[in-house]
Structure 1
Amino acid sequence: MGALGRALLWLQLCAMTRAAYKLWVPNTNFEVTTNWSQNRTPCAGAAVVFPADKMVSVLVREGHSISDMLLPRDGEFVLDSGAGFGAADAGRDPDCGAAAPALFLDPDRFSWHDPRLWRSGGAARGLFSVDAERVPCRHDDVVFPPDASFRVGLGPGVGPVRVRSVWALGQTFTRDEDLAAFLASPAGRLRFHGPGALSVGAEACADPSGCVCGNAEVQPWICAALLRPLGGRCPPAACRDALRPEGQCCDLCGAIVSLTHGPTFDIERYRTRLLRGFLPQYQGLQMAVSKVPRQNAGAEADTEIQVVLAETGPDGTGGAGRLARALLADVAEHGEGLGVLSAAVRESGAPVGDGSAAGLEGSGMRAGVAGGVAAGLLLLALLAGALLLRGARSFRWSRRDEAAPAPFVAPLGFSNPVFDVAGSVEPPSAPQVENSSISRSYFVNPLFAEAEA
């Protein structure tokens, strides 16, 4: 069985044991155009330059004719069947002209903590994950591509990255001793780098109500990586009183339903119920369902179920609020059978620039001209009513008579969501290869041999 077959078998086992898994997306393949400075692979007769002070593993699938090559400090070429390099005169390809050397981009630019670089296995249509949960959680299995080369930065080392298992280079690591030996090997050092530590051995989530992801400690680094292309700042709010769910880096428009639950609650069954029975009736919505730490838990349970309903259109239609109230009604009717003890809802405000406020003021002005003081009093009444409605976007339902109302949550201000369901890093697909058709060519730059030793 080849590497790809073993990877597929491992993913099937993950599904059978209800273990979640995350797939690493980017690679350091030679033929991937986004790995090169000119956004194209080196043309015939080009000079090829790798960063001199870096380490990298590069999969080569085709034959290439080059005039010169500057190798990095340490690395390897993984050659597919029929792949290799040949000598050619500079400028052999007339379309290349007198182009500058082809520079291989910094292979250290890919960070473990960047949510854009991971895909969740088996994600259903209409579902997304909050930003902290797009990066592997402590109970996840992690899979690196069997048909690509890669390099991963493990972060600043604030604490070990801990997951259930790691599948890489045809091996499954479930014990720290085995993983440590691999990371210290030449193959491991070419693929993982940085001061951070990687640890395995956590159990799969065995709680039917779900498990907390466990990435709260590293969320600042997750958000920094996610927002780096935006200059480190969230985009402007698209709605008034935008919400920030637990685990999300920026505010979003929509609604958040918070559930407390009993011992019979099953998060997978509830998620399926929402996907099949509720979400299809509302257009332009995405949903995330997960267990998160409970804010201001006090003597109550220290976790809760967070259901995030996000408006994905440029101007929200209010569907998130309607769906949230439908879920409240569903809990009121079926909460006991679902294992839900109580529910609370928070909603964002109207879309920015929808004209509703201007229309209200215009009506007041017309009434003022026609009715004088009486219209002024009416306008004050309308404004007071609007303020009351604005403060009424928080709802709560409980099966327990003594349950207290949900606390008012203050708006989070300036920022708005980076809501990236599909992600932004998607390398071109490549033909599947088996280990038997690949050979490795290692190189060590003698100029750096002493430093490496």
Structure 2
Amino acid sequence: MWFFKQRSPRSSLGPSQINRMPKTQDLCLLFCLVAGTNACYKQWIPDTNYENESNWNTGVVPCGNDQVQFPAHRKVSVYVETTHSVQELRLPVGGEFILNSGAGFYVGGGQEPGCGAGAKAQFKDSDSLQWWDPALWRAAASLDDLEEGRPLFSVHEESVPCWYDDVIFRASSSFRVDTTSRKPDVPVKSVSVLGRMFNRKAEFSQYLRSRSGRLQFHGSSTVSVGGSGCADPSGCECGNSANRERICATVTCPPLTCKKPLRPEGHCCYVCGVLITIQYATGFNLQAYKQRLQNLFLVDQAYKSVQLAMSKVSKPQYVLRMVPFGVSATIQVVILDGETGSEAGTVAEKLAWAILNDAHSQGSNLGISEAELEASSGSSSANGPGVGAGAVTGAVFGILILVALVSIGAFLVHKGFVQIPKIPMPSMPSVPSLRSSKKDGHIGDLGGPLDLGFDNPMFDKPSMLPAMPTLYNAELKNSISMTQTGVHFVNPVYDENETDFSV
């Protein structure tokens, strides 16, 4: 059944409310800076408005000569801003029109001037729009920033609402979103629908059970509100890592040309830019540090193309950069720029070194104990107060663990609790001894048979060779002597009678 619902005047913003809104935004912005939240607002971008051209297959809003059709078996909540003329209107089995004051439909008879010959305009299906698609959200620090197009850059996991965020669905619009998650609940701080903000669980649960709520929110998980927001000055982790696969399944990564692409924590793609990892101490304030970087560096026109995201993340820790031994919370700074080709990341790296030098000189005042830089150009550096302390501590910790394990193993072996298995030695081929060689060989003792080796027909049988005058003459035969120990060749150049070594 299709319902036409007239929007209540109380749900729209009156002049007095509009005049008070800037003060509300200023208070929210101040609260964000004090409480340390990473973003104040996450706004849903798509809508199911009748006047939105992108919601129609024709690319234009239907006019009086068109036949308007909605998917027969789809559920949708459509917001109608003004009055529209149609030739024919076909509605699905279930759904609703939310009519603004004075909005409605009438049949024009297909004679509206300037409308053309008429077409079949079909409303697009919105069931496939997912809560976990980063491209469907816009983040900003205030409502003014949302309206004026000053969005915040963040990694993919933080582009969708975190548990401490205020979620905004535009006042003069309706929507349909699939909230299916790996968990039964999708926690956020508050949700604003049709100009009404819900920050109490009971009130929002009642709205979700209404007809509009069931049409706008669907899926196996339920959006829940009522969180207190992030009260940690050093920031809070977003908490969307459990749905990382859902988030990244909607992301298409661009091709890269840099030497060493980097992948930030919480991001689905490798990037050309710089990562700064900050180890913080007592007194560190995330929002105050963001404001410092904004005032010191980002106001410079040289960095106008730079995108900077800063948040608290959990990163694995390694002993000697190889052996993992746990995770710890750190501050991750992601810096990208608009450069392309071989210049991609160069401006970001220049800014990163300036930030690192600032952390080195002012870290003790800012609550920064260590800062490390890694660039897509391949360069990296550890800097800041206490530089290398983490690496030294990890190395010492790893050596102590290794010594303890060796000591425990030696103790267990000594007490007989653990036996070292005997390793069989590979069998070696037997080598006959010299004594056995003498017994079995042909050389033998003095007077035994002589081992002549292999037969040499040329040496043993000179008669087989052609006759050569001096090859086997008497002089040559006298230069060769045979004894019981072998064959000896006499050097004809040496004359034993010429040299006498006897005393």
| TM-score of the pair, normalised by structure 2 | 0.66
Structure 1: runs of 5+ lacking an equivalent: 228-233, 350-389, 408-453
User: Does the aligned pair in 2 maintain the 1:161–1:198 contact within 8 Å?
Assistant: yes
User: Does the aligned pair in 2 maintain the 1:126–1:285 contact within 8 Å?
Assistant: no
Map of 2:373 onto structure 1:
345
Task: Say which of 307, 325, 330 aligns to 1:286.
Answer: 307
The SS at the match of 1:17 is helix
Aligned-pair CA distance for 1:2: 5.3
Task: Say which of 210, 221, 225 aligns to 1:196.
Answer: 221
User: Does the aligned pair in 2 maintain the 1:264–1:339 contact within 8 Å?
Assistant: yes
Distance 1:50 1:404 in 2: 61
Map of 2:194 onto structure 1:
169
The SS at the match of 2:361 is helix
Matches within 5 A, 1:48-127: 48-90=68-110, 92=112, 95-97=115-117, 99=119, 101-122=120-141, 127=152
Distance 2:181 2:189 in 1: 21
TM-superposition CA deviations, 1:263-313 (whole Å, max 9, x none): 100111111111111233433321111111122277787211111110222
TM-superposition CA deviations, 1:199-239 (whole Å, max 9, x none): 12222111111111111111221222233xxxxxx221131
Distance 2:27 2:71 in 1: 39
User: Does the aligned pair in 1 maintain the 2:132–2:160 contact within 8 Å?
Assistant: yes
Distance 1:235 1:259 in 2: 27
User: Does the aligned pair in 1 maintain the 2:45–2:138 contact within 8 Å?
Assistant: yes
Aligned-pair CA distance for 1:127: 5.0
Distance 2:181 2:73 in 1: 20
Map of 1:309 onto structure 2:
335
- Shift in CA distance, 322/294, structure 1 to aligned 2, threshold 3 Å: same
Distance 2:66 2:189 in 1: 44
The reply to whether residue 394 of structure 1 matches residue 380 of structure 2 is yes
Map of 1:4 onto structure 2:
13
User: Does the aligned pair in 2 maintain the 1:126–1:287 contact within 8 Å?
Assistant: no
- Shift in CA distance, 157/343, structure 1 to aligned 2, threshold 3 Å: closer
Higher relative contact order (CA 8 A, sep 6+): 1
Q: Which amino acid aligns with 1:305?
A: I
The reply to whether residue 42 of structure 1 matches residue 62 of structure 2 is yes
- Shift in CA distance, 98/58, structure 1 to aligned 2, threshold 3 Å: closer
The reply to whether residue 327 of structure 1 matches residue 355 of structure 2 is yes
Aligned-pair CA distance for 1:43: 2.0
**Count of residues paired in the alignment:** 358
The SS at the match of 2:371 is strand
Distance 2:165 2:158 in 1: 10
| TM-score of the pair, normalised by structure 1 | 0.73
Distance 1:126 1:194 in 2: 28
The SS at the match of 1:211 is coil
The SS at the match of 2:339 is coil
Structure 2: runs of 5+ lacking an equivalent: 1-9, 319-323, 395-503
Task: Say which of 282, 290, 298 aligns to 1:271.
Answer: 290
Question: RMSD of aligned C-alpha atoms?
Answer: 2.6
- Shift in CA distance, 95/87, structure 1 to aligned 2, threshold 3 Å: closer
Aligned-pair CA distance for 1:132: 1.2
Map of 1:431 onto structure 2:
none
The reply to whether residue 15 of structure 1 matches residue 24 of structure 2 is no
The SS at the match of 1:343 is strand
User: Does the aligned pair in 1 maintain the 2:357–2:384 contact within 8 Å?
Assistant: no
The reply to whether residue 29 of structure 1 matches residue 24 of structure 2 is no
